[in-house]
Each structure stands twice: as C-alpha cells, then as structure tokens.
Structure 1
Amino acid sequence: MQPLIINLTEKKVVIAGGGRIAARKARVLHGENALITFVAPEMSEEVIQLSEEKNYTLIYRKAIQADFYEAALVILATNNREANQALAKALPSHQFVCVVDEFEEGNVTFPATIRRGHLQVAVTSNGSSPKLTRKLKKELEAQFDSSWEPYTAFLKRCRELIKQLPLSFEEKSELLWELLEDPYRISEEEQKKKWNELYARKK
C-alpha cells in the first residue's frame, strides 16, 4: 500500500455506523473540515454531539450503496461484520474505502498520526499489530516534542522568503539545509537572528 496525505477539506466523507468506532474515525477527521455524513439506524451520544459541534449530517437508517455516491472517502464502521463486508463488495474499486473491522477488504487505513505545527508523522503496521502502531506513536510523540510547532512555522516563513532571494538554486538549497540545524529548532533567539539575516538579503 502507498501512503498518501490527502486534503479532505470540503470533501464528502460517508461513515456507515453510528457507534463508538464511527465516532472515533470522525474525530480523526475533526480538524480536516470534511463534509461528514453518518448513516445508521441508531446514533450514539458521542456521534450526536460531534454532529452538533461540526454540523455533520445524520441519516437514521441502514446504509445502502447509493449513500456513498460522490464520497471522497467511505468508512464502513457498522457493528455488523456481514453488513460491512457486503457494502465493501458493492462499492467501485476506485473509491477510497476503509473497512474498520477487516483491513484487507478496504483500500484505506487510518495510520496513527502525530502533528506538530506543519509537521505530520504517520505510522501504521498495515493491520499486522495495532499495539506496535500505538507503541511507535508514543515514541514519536516523545521524539517530536512541542518545540517542533514554532520551529516548523519558522521553516515555512524562511522557505517562502528564501524563494524570493536573488540567489542561485544551489545557494537557496544550502540555506534551507542550514535551517535544519538544531540551534534553530531549540532557540527562538537563533530563529530571530537568522530571519533578520535573511530578510536583510532581500533588500
């Protein structure tokens, strides 16, 4: 399987299911501004609360194939193994589908993800060991602490500025590599000095 980072802003996501797992998948997408619809005969309090917070759509009945037309992402999270399997088989092969209780029946999995500002790191065992995935996520959370949030913002600003400088490609590349040295990540003072230095070169 090929990892991808997909922008789901304003994209239609349909979740078959209204229970704990369906809510958990929706929370993963909570900050993505996706247009989420839940389809299930019954909805948990957690799903209802999420829908009130984010204006998600709730459809109170069993999911049918037509519910997933034009969906950028389908999540099959009913509490019925046979229903998930039948829906997965009915959907076209080009559609992105996550089957929460049988990894191999879909073509999408949700990796464990950490975010630190503009940095996003994802890890998955592709269904072989969810516990390993959780273990690695904890290790990555410790490795990439909160200092990476302002640092990645600094890198973004500097990259945009460096692109405007009247320098050769090689010179710009050298500057970008220099910004990856540890002092710029851990010292706000070093970041300010470097920013001022780069800005002066623009004038």
Structure 2
Amino acid sequence: MIPLYHDFTEEKVMIFGGGPVGARKARRFSSEAHVIVISPTFSKDSFGTASLVRAAPSPSDVHEWVTRADPTLIIAATGNDELNNSIADIAHDNELLLNRADRSKANSKENRALSTAYEVMTPATVEDGPIQVAVSTGGRSPALAKYLREQIETDIESAGAMATLTADLRAELRGRECSPSERRDAIRSVVRDPDVWKGLRTGENNARQEATRVIRNTMGGER
C-alpha cells in the first residue's frame, strides 16, 4: 500500500454504523467533509459535526441510500457482515472509495483477497497546525500504530509553529539578493537549530530573533 492524502473539502462521506468505531470515523472526517451516519442506534461517543440519520437499512436498501447521497467515500462500520458486504459491493460497482472497519483489525489472506482497488485504510494521524503525520501498520497491529502516534505527538511538538515561521522566512528571503541554494541552506539551518525550537516550545527566547540570527550566520551577514 502507498500512503496518499485526499482533500475531502466540500465532499460527502457516508458511514454505516453508529457504534464507537463509526463515531471515531465521523469525528475524523467531519473536520473537513460533510459526514452522514446511518444507524438504528448511536453510541454516546461524539460524532463531531456529522449528520445522524436513525435508520436500519437492509443489504438491499444500501444502493438507494448511496445513490441518494452520492458520497465520495463510504465507510462500513456495522456489526453485520452481510450488510458490510453489500456496502462494499455497492462502492465497487459505483467506483467509490471504501473503508471497511471490519477489515482494519486483521491482515489475513482472506481479507487481502476480498479487498478491491477502491478500498482505502484510515491510518492513525498526529497533527500540529499544518503538520500532519500518518502511521499505519497495514492493519497488522492497531496497538502499535497507537503507540507510535503517541511517540510522534511528543516529537512534533511546535512543528506547526516552525512550519509557519519558516514559511514567512522563505517569503522574506525571496526578496533578498541570494541564490535559491543559499535560501535553502538558511532555512535548513533554522529548522535544525535547537535554540529556535526552544523558543517555539517554551517562549523563553524569541524564536523569530533566534531564526534571524541563524540566517545571518549561515548567509555571512546582512544582505
């Protein structure tokens, strides 16, 4: 499998299943997409800003629900194998992206054989501002994916602020008389400087001033 980001802005995601897994998927996608969750019952978990539709569609009803909503992604998160299989068939027939929650916990030969070209996985993610890191074990070990996500959360602390700072610095350096390689080296030096990171994380020093110092030293003085 190859990781691939997809922009779901203004797109629809349809989730079948109102349990904890369906709620987690709804929270994940409702930050960007319009999410519709169909289920006869809903857990007490938060579903984000998703629209909840209380209904119990049978396998033969799935096609009508999907046709009516016209989603980009369908998520099968019910506890009914027959219903999940019907959802998968409809997604395949209509060339829609599909995520099957009942396959994310195993990587058996049977599951690999049943997967389709339209089936996708939703990896564990860590975000800090514009920075987003995804971790997947290919369904082999959700516990490991969670552990790695927790480790990465600490490692990328203030990475979002660093991204914003270096974006501003890159824009400013384009206005100076320096070569692209000099600008690149200067920004790399800022990203690798511990004092700049310390300023972003603790506020004990001015990160912007530290970054300016690093650039000045890297480029040999003001230009």
Identify whether the pair has TM-score above 0.5, normalized to the shorter chain. yes
| Alignment pair present for 1:20 and 2:15 | no
Query: More relative contact order in 1 or in 2 (CA 8 Å, sep 6+)?
Result: 1
Whichever residue aligns with residue 76 of structure 1, its letter is: A
Aligned AA for 1:100?
A: A
Task: Please state whether the residue corresponding to 1:167 is helix, strand or coil.
Answer: coil
- Cα offset, 1:35, TM superposition: 0.5
How much identity, in percent, do the aligned residues show?
25
1:45 & 1:138 partners in 2: Cα distance?
25
Query: How many residue pairs align between the two structures?
Result: 196
**Normalised by the size of structure 1, how large is the TM-score?**
0.81
Q: Does 1:169 align with 2:170?
A: no
1:90 alignment partner in structure 2: 90
CA distance, structure 2, for counterparts of residue 176 and residue 66 of structure 1: 53
* Pairing partner for 1:191 from 207, 211, 216: 207
SS at match of 1:187: helix
Native 8 Å contact 2:13 2:73 kept in 1: yes
Give the match for residue 162 of structure 2. Answer: 151
Flag the structure with larger Rg: 2
- Is the 1:76–1:100 Cα contact (8 Å) retained in structure 2? yes
Separation in structure 1 between the aligned mates of residue 24 and residue 127 of structure 2, nearest angstrom: 17
1:36-185 paired onto structure 2 within 5 Å: 36-46=35-45, 50=47, 54=49, 56-58=51-53, 60-62=55-57, 64-69=62-67, 70-92=70-92, 94-103=95-104, 104=111, 105=115, 107-145=119-157, 147-181=158-192, 182-185=194-197
**1:115-149 Cα shifts (integer Å, max 9, x gaps):** 1222211111011111221221222223233x334
Match of 2:92, SS state, is: coil
| Residue identity opposite 1:155 in structure 2 | T
Residues 183 and 190 of structure 1 are in contact (CA less than 8 Å); yes or no, is this contact kept in structure 2? no
| Mean CA deviation greater in 150-159 or 107-116 | 150-159
Per-residue deviation at 1:112? 1.0
Unaligned 5+ segments in structure 1 are: none
Cα distance between partner residues in 1 of 2:148 and 2:53:
35
- Unaligned 5+ segments in structure 2 are 105-110, 216-221
Deviation at residue 72 of structure 1 after TM alignment:
1.7
Cα distance, 1:162 vs. partner? 3.2
Q: Which amino acid aligns with 1:78?
A: T
SS across alignment from 1:120: strand
Distance 1:90 1:72, change over 3 A: closer
**Corresponding residue of 1:3:** 3
